[in-house]
Chains A and B, each alone.
Chain A
Amino acid sequence: MSAKIDFSKISFLVVDGDKISAQVVFDTLSYLGALDVRRVGKPEDAFRILRTQQIDIIVTEWRLRGMDGLEFLDSLRNSTSSPNRFVPVIMLTAHSEQRYVTTARDLGITEFLAKPFNAKALYSRLVSVITRPRHFVNTGTYFGPDRRRRQTPFDGPDRREDQKSKARGNT
């Protein structure tokens, strides 16, 4: 028997000024069984909802009127008045070039989905957010999900091991 996701147990907030784009995300989530999906066009309205209601996952566009999606994310993660610094955020945007992905990652995005997107790609981001929650990292310059996602082999010197050996040698 394979594991399933009951989307009716999760509340969503879609922040997108483009009505068609917001509708596509809304339809997809509704089809999946989500019962609590809110849609707003501006981050200011999103904050109003976040202050009064439980939201489990945010899906936001980058390009928004007034405060853009990045500023919204920055406020969510780093502002002292943020209603929820840990809420998973999926950024859905046509700004798909690498520099945009890197910028969003460094501000604490949970998942990035480039437009134009298809249903499979959106579903895989939702699954990832729900089933593979990541550690949060808090440093002086970054607050957000752990950005290390790939396990790549490293063949350089192991400085930690060197330090341990030195320490052992000193004792």
Chain B
Amino acid sequence: MNEQKPPKVQIIPPRTELKQRAVNFTKGFDINLGPEQLEELERVVQRSSDAFVRSIGHDLSETRQLVINAITNADLRPKAVEKSADLAYSTKALGGTFDYPLMTQIAKSLEVFLHGRSTANKRQLMVTQLHIDAIYVILASRITGFGTSIEQATTVALSKIAARYSDPRE
């Protein structure tokens, strides 16, 4: 008989040391935070907002310059793509946290456009630059929230242009 044995599965009981050590009824934060405590916690997150704006502002101008130089200098293109991809990821990751969801949207479009690329041609770098410029405008004008219909139309246009010039992907 050639009956297959069922795979061995080991179930290991949950480790409860953390719970035993930290959960109590006298000290610490309620498991279910009230609205006021949540608001306070959110304010703690927002403390880093200025640092985010400074950091992204610095990265944007540096990356923008590199992309512009790469348009005329092919040797710089791999570096420009790598740096732009890093910028896209970090902006996408944190924009929304600091009430810049529009920045996250545009950064996501740029991230998708650069995904899997090690270099880019002239037109693709120009598309990259357009995204960077758009993020810069949001930051410089402090456009929080999703912006007006104009900003939304710009976001859609950027995604369309990114789709149009996505090939070749090298």
Beta-carbon contact of B31 and A3 below 8 Å: yes
- Asked if B18 contacts A130 (CB within 8 A), the reply is yes
Distance in angstroms from A125 CB to nearest chain B CB is: 13
Of the candidates B8, B12, B25, B44, which one forms a contact with A31 in the assembled complex, judged by CB atoms under 8 Å apart? B44
Chain A nearest CB from B62 CB (Å) reads 15
Q: How many A-B residue pairs have CB under 8 A?
A: 150
Interface window among B48-56, B70-78, B139-147: B48-56
Interchain CA distance A8-B15 in the complex, whole Å: 19
What sequence of 0s and 1s flags, for each residue 86-120 of chain B, a beta carbon within 8 Å of any chain A beta carbon?
00011011111110010010000000000000000
In the complex, what distance in Å separates the CA atom of A18 from the CA atom of B47? 16
User: Would you list which residues of chain A between 80 and 94 have a CB under 8 Å from chain B?
Assistant: 86, 88, 93-94
Q: A27-B44, A28-B44, A32-B29 are in contact. Are A18 and B90 (CB under 8 A)?
A: yes
Docked pose: A28 CA to B55 CA in angstroms: 20
Is B38 an interface position by the 8 A CB rule? yes
Contact assessment for A7 and B29 in the assembled complex, using a CB-CB cutoff below 8 Å: yes
| Complex CA–CA separation, A52 to B104 (angstroms) | 38
- Chain A nearest CB, measured from B6 CB (Å): 11
B63 smallest CB distance to A (angstroms): 15
Chain A residues near B18 (CB-CB < 8 A): 10, 56-57, 88, 129-130, 133
Contact A5 B55 (CB under 8 A): no
Contact A130 B93, beta carbon cutoff 8 Å: no
How far does the Cβ of A7 sit from chain B's closest Cβ, in whole Å?
6
Q: Which of A6, A88, A116, A119 contacts B27 (CB 8 A)?
A: A6
Closest Cβ of chain B: how far from A104's Cβ, in Å? 16
Q: Is the CB of B21 within 8 A of A9?
A: yes
For chain A residues 112-128, which have a beta carbon within 8 Å of chain B? 115-120, 123, 127
Q: Is the CB of B94 within 8 A of A21?
A: yes
Q: How far is the CA of A27 from the CA of B50 in the complex (A)?
A: 14
Cross-chain contact A27 with B45 (CB below 8 angstroms):
yes
Residues on A with beta carbons closer than 8 Å to the beta carbon of B31:
2-5, 127, 131
Determine the distance from Cα of A134 to Cα of B94 in the docked complex, in whole angstroms. 30
Q: How far is the CA of A4 from the CA of B21 in the complex (A)?
A: 11
Query: CB-CB < 8 A to B2: which residues of A?
Result: none
Check if A67 is an interface residue, CB within 8 A of chain B.
no
Q: Is B157 an interface residue (CB 8 A)?
A: no
B86 to chain A, nearest CB (A): 9
Is there an interface contact between A3 and B15, defined as CB atoms closer than 8 Å?
A: no
- Asked if A38 is at the interface of the complex by the 8 Å CB criterion, the answer is no
B9 at the interface (CB under 8 A from A): yes
A28 to B97, CA, bound (A): 13
Q: Is A53 an interface residue (CB 8 A)?
A: no
Across the interface, which residues of A come within 8 angstroms of B41, CB to CB?
28, 31-32, 119-120, 123
Shortest Cβ-Cβ A-B pairs, 7 listed: A116-B96, A94-B93, A133-B14, A6-B28, A136-B12, A119-B41, A4-B28
